[in-house]
Amino acid sequence: MEILRDVGAIYDWVQHAKALGTRVALIPTMGALHSGHLSLIALAKQRAEKVVVSIFVNPTQFGPSEDFDRYPRSEEEDRAKLKECGVDAVYLPTVDIMYPQGFTTTVKVSKITEGLCGKSRPGHFDGVATVVSKLLLQSSADVAVFGEKDYQQLLVIKRVVDDLNIPVEIVPAPIEREESGLAMSSRNRYLNDHERIVAAKLFAGLRTASILIQQKPQSVNDILLETGEHWLGSGFDAIDYLELRDAETLDHVHILERPARLLAAVQLGKTRLIDNIAVEPKV
């Protein structure tokens, strides 16, 4: 597995592969790799002959009171996992490589960034859109895979790629879950045993709500209120948001008529958890 440490190295590596007629997939990550990330690699392998995974904990997408400093970092373990999965190259840029002195450009997406995580994490999607644009341009990969776990992020990235004509195909990957239903996340490492049990109720609540909404498409607001109350009674400390949104535009949905997505963010102790589920109208 090739170790790439700067912009020239990843650019040259991808260009060399392309010159041989090989399709290249990029998977951007922040490391602390788990089976969710590995499922993206499996999907990438179906779409391209060569796979490069980037690991970069991007400071610009963390707010001042967020967990940038304590975000889990496990480079050696990550590299071993990637090698084991047969990844062809790993890109490990430093903050100085990504944001050298004089860096002042921000990629800012409006509208779909305004609610949900964009509301509770001001500036978060500016950081995401900027770093992902850089990674896509630095690599010039043919394909890039992103998880539906971060559903709003996925739509933001699709928007950037369309709006800036970045020549890459964005491939969404389904959410990988633990047996309990808990969506895999690097931040699950923060949870203690008791919190893990509570955390599983997030997806259980989303699943129940999605079924109820399908059965009673006019009663979205009542179902969401009940779900939120149920979560608070089950041990979650706060609900950041629980909203039904259009699956493509993220417009608010009050009556289910088109494919939608039920998205939630909750606080459990010191950990913020996000999850989402597709909600399709009955045919």
Q: 37 or 50, CB closer to ligand AMP?
A: 37
Q: How far is the CB of 58 from ligand AMP (least distance, A)?
A: 8
Least distance in angstroms from the C-beta of 145 to ligand AMP = 7
Mask: binding to ligand AMP, 18-37, rule CB under 6 A, as x and -?
Answer: -----------xx-----xx
**176: contact with ligand AMP by CB under 6 A:** yes
At closest approach, how far in Å is the CB of 67 from ligand AMP?
Answer: 12
Letters for 136-175 (x = contact with ligand AMP by CB under 6 A, - = none) are ----------xx-xx----------------------x-x
Count of residues near ligand AMP by CB under 6 A? 17
Nearest distance in Å: CB 107, ligand AMP: 17
Q: Which is nearer to ligand AMP, 36 or 217 (CB)?
A: 36
Residue from the set 113, 133, 152, 186 that interacts with ligand AMP by CB under 6 A: 186
37 in active site: yes
- Residue 29 or 210: the one with the smaller Cβ distance to ligand AMP is 29
- Which residue, chain included where needed, has tokens 């045993």? 193
Could you tell me the end-to-end alpha-carbon distance of the chain, in angstroms, rounded to an integer?
Answer: 48
Q: Is residue 129 a contact residue for ligand AMP (CB under 6 A)? A: no
Tell the smallest beta-carbon distance from residue 276 to ligand AMP (Å): 11
Cα separation, 202 vs 230, in Å, equals 10
Q: Kindly tell me which residue out of 26, 40, 116, 273 binds ligand AMP, with binding defined by CB under 6 A.
A: 40
Q: Does 127 bind ligand AMP (CB under 6 A)?
A: no
Catalytic positions are: 37
